[in-house]
Chains A and B, each alone.
Chain A
């Protein structure tokens, strides 16, 4: 009997916490269908009349550039970054997990120590390097670190995953005449798919949400990703048009939401196995 009351209390608590957590989103969704005056004036959750004009007008963005551009830009920025990250990090992890080579311990220790290297301490020279290379205001500042495996979290995660796969497989593959690349591409990659998927999802989320790096590297409105586009629509008008801003905010987080609901298993497994930050 006592156990049952305990459970009831727990459920009530969980429900209340759940409500507090989702309330901002619920309110946001309904706000998109209200007028600006109604958002600021009324306490009612539901809009007095449903209108899609916030979406229609918000989509037009500021000046000549619409949110369609911001969306395309975000995908152009995010997708290659994710693909390159998964490719380079898994390949490097393969090297660390499956080969003996001179200096391996040192390299591995260095790689792990970069886990604690804060972005803020390298951002200025990176900016200057990219400036010298003439690739500011392009998405290369995002692609390059991805191409060269500058994400120790993912390397570490995939190394851990590879350690769980028996080495007998490698030996069998080599006996059958497989090369190292073949072993990686044809045998190991299919086996470590869940880890690759987790890494890809986290990188997708981080790059999609990124604001600081975009703010620094991207300067023309034509190349703005969503985060900068949203920020611009908060800036330009002296009075923020909250209906439009909320509508576009909702639209901009929708892809992440959808991805999360379909792939939440990989998110949860990703953080449980490596302690990656969410």
Chain B
């Protein structure tokens, strides 16, 4: 492997000194091979097998996938639920983060205080503690409903009705907009002010400035955020598991939960691996779609040297 890559582009004789760097990154190489590459390939292989944890994997071809898509009713449901979850929570979160970042960028005093406060949910939001808190707040006799009643609105069955349960766990995701906001804020600060001055001389209004200067200049950050947040949302587990336990009527049964149930409650390792590869496929398609579309809407100042 080493000799092969070494004899590649430059044909110089390699001295032992040239391998020093390789030695230094060797911990990562070991980790990559045994804890990333091997598991990646192994789960692909297991996905074509029947593998009860006690026995040996037994090759069964495509049967896991066939079963997932034809027999298992929960799986199709969980795909739809997961896509819905990502499609609602990610754009909502990013839009909210962008609006707040724009306001914070108005050169007001006390920005740092607001930025700190808005960031707190991003620190704690993934924890079991906050999921428990969320459940308490949104229970049918929880404080959110009590407040709704006090302002003469009808109470909402947040956790008990399929549609609202999805809204509840999406809200928890949107609530954690702080880290995206900080990224947007950093991007907004980088926009050269003379662009706005030139636009003002040309008589451009604020809305026009936003759509022709601000938005194009931060598209690369929007793009990055969209990819990272989608990958995260598609793999979500904790909030659905703790708050709704996938219910009611499997309306919040995310793929992450399905994977956990098959792999670590039923110990069907082959079947669970197939689920993980479908999830991987979905993530890949999502990412590629965002990448493909990016030519049309992402603007790179340096010409997009990737």
Contacts and interface: CB of A to CB of B under 8 A. Distances in A.
Contact of A150 (B5, B32, B279): B32
Interface string B7-27: 010000010001111111101
A18 interface: yes
Interface in A100-132: 100-104, 106-107, 110-111, 114, 116-129, 131
A271 B183 contact: yes
A25 B146 contact: no
A124 B276 contact: yes
A249 B124 CA distance: 11
B6 A22 contact: no
Given A272-B183, A277-B179, A149 B27 contact: yes
B85 interface: no
A182 interface: no
B133 A249 contact: yes
Contacts of B24: 91-92, 94-95, 99, 180
Interface stretch (B63-71, B211-219, B259-267, B296-304): B259-267
A278 B229 CA distance: 10
Given A125-B46, A209-B127, A277 B229 contact: yes
Interface stretch (A48-56, A59-67, A140-148, A186-194): A140-148
A107 B228 contact: no
A180 B25 CA distance: 13
B141 A107 contact: no
A250 to B, nearest CB: 7
A214 B14 CA distance: 45
A260 B118 contact: no
B297 to A, nearest CB: 18
Interface SS of A by simple majority: helix
Contacts of B83: none
Contacts, number: 275
A134 interface: no
B40 A121 contact: yes
A172 interface: no
A155 interface: yes
A156 B241 CA distance: 32
A105 B124 CA distance: 37
Nearest to A249: B129
B54 to A, nearest CB: 11
Contacts of A5: none
B8 A256 contact: no
B62 interface: no
B118 A17 contact: yes
B123 A260 contact: yes
B133 A121 contact: no
Contacts of B124: 209, 253, 256-257
Given A21-B118, A100-B21, A121-B43, A110 B235 contact: no
B113 to A, nearest CB: 9
B246 interface: no
B165 interface: no
Interface in B164-183: 175-176, 178-180, 182-183
A179 to B, nearest CB: 10
Given A18-B117, A267-B123, A278-B178, A118 B283 contact: yes
Given A91-B27, A131-B53, 18 more contacts: A14-B103, A17-B100, A31-B136, A39-B136, A43-B146, A95-B23, A95-B28, A101-B20, A116-B227, A122-B39, A123-B263, A124-B269, A126-B39, A148-B32, A148-B34, A216-B260, A234-B132, A271-B182
21 contacts: A10-B103, A10-B106, A14-B114, A18-B114, A21-B118, A92-B24, A102-B22, A120-B235, A121-B279, A123-B39, A147-B31, A148-B27, A148-B28, A150-B28, A208-B127, A211-B237, A212-B238, A249-B128, A272-B182, A275-B221, A278-B119
